[in-house]
A and B are shown apart, each in its own frame.
Chain A
Amino acid sequence: MRWLSRLFEFVGKIGLFSLRVLIDWLKPPLEFAQFSRQLAEVGNKSLALVVVSGFALGAVMTLHTRSTLVTFGATAMIPAVQAVSFFVEIGPLVAGLLLAGRVGSGIGAVLANMRASEQIDAIESLSIDSFKFLVVPRVLACVIALPFLTLFMDFAGLLGGFLSEELSSHIAPALYLNRAFDYLQWSNFIAPTLKTAVFGFIIGSVSSYFGYTTDKGAQGVGEAATNSVVVSSLLIIVADVLLIKCIFFLFPDTAI
Chain B
Amino acid sequence: MITNHSVAVEFKRVMKSFGTKHVLSDVSFQIGHGQALCLLGRSGTGKSVTLKMIMALMRPDSGEVWVDQDNVVGMGEHRLSLVRKKLGYLFQDAALFDSLTLYENLALPLSRLTKKTKDEIDDVIQRVLDDVGLGTEGAKYPAALSGGMKKRAGLARALVLEPKILLADEPSSGLDRITASEIDELLTRRKTEHGTALIIVTHDVHGARRVADKVAVLDKGNLVAFGSVEEVSQSDNDVARRLITE
Instruction: Please list the residues of chain A having a beta carbon within 8 angstroms of any beta carbon in chain B.
Output: 37, 113-114, 117-119, 121-129
Contacts and interface: CB of A to CB of B under 8 A. Distances in A.
Interface of A (DSSP majority class): helix
Contacts of B57: 121, 124-125
Given A118-B92, A121-B57, A127 B85 contact: yes
A127 B81 contact: yes
Contacts of A121: 52, 55, 57, 89, 91, 95
Contacts of A118: 91-93, 95
A218 to B, nearest CB: 12
Nearest to A120: B95
Contact of A125 (B77, B82, B89, B99): B89
Nearest to A119: B95
Which residue among A118, A124, A126 has the maximum number of chain B CB atoms within 10 Å of its CB?
A126
Interface stretch (B108-116, B126-134, B182-190, B199-207): B108-116
B176 interface: no
Interface in B90-144: 91-93, 95-99, 108-109, 112-113
Contact of B97 (A119, A124, A125): A119
A111 B167 CA distance: 24
A123 B91 CA distance: 11
Given A124-B57, A124-B84, 17 more contacts: A117-B93, A117-B95, A118-B91, A118-B95, A119-B96, A119-B98, A121-B89, A121-B91, A122-B91, A122-B96, A122-B157, A124-B55, A125-B57, A126-B109, A127-B81, A128-B109, A128-B112
A124 B80 CA distance: 10
Contacts of A114: 98
A3 to B, nearest CB: 22
A114 B98 CA distance: 9
Which of the four size classes fits the interface of chain B? 20 to 34
B168 to A, nearest CB: 12
B89 A122 contact: yes
Interface in B42-75: 52, 55, 57
Interface of B: 52, 55, 57, 77, 80-82, 84-85, 87, 89, 91-93, 95-99, 108-109, 112-113, 157, 161
5 contacts: A37-B99, A121-B57, A125-B55, A127-B81, A127-B85
B112 A122 contact: no
B93 A126 contact: no
Nearest to B105: A122
Nearest to B111: A33
A8 B151 CA distance: 43
Contacts of B81: 127
Contacts of A119: 95-98
Given A119-B97, A119-B98, A125 B92 contact: no
Which residue among A113, A118, A123, A127 has the maximum number of chain B CB atoms within 10 Å of its CB?
A127
Contact of A127 (B91, B97, B98, B113): B113
Nearest to B85: A127
Nearest to A122: B95
Contacts of B87: 125
A122 B84 contact: no
Contacts of B80: 127
A125 B87 CA distance: 8
Contact of A126 (B77, B82, B99, B113): B113
Nearest to B112: A128
Nearest to A37: B99
B200 to A, nearest CB: 16
A166 to B, nearest CB: 44
B1 to A, nearest CB: 29
A14 to B, nearest CB: 22
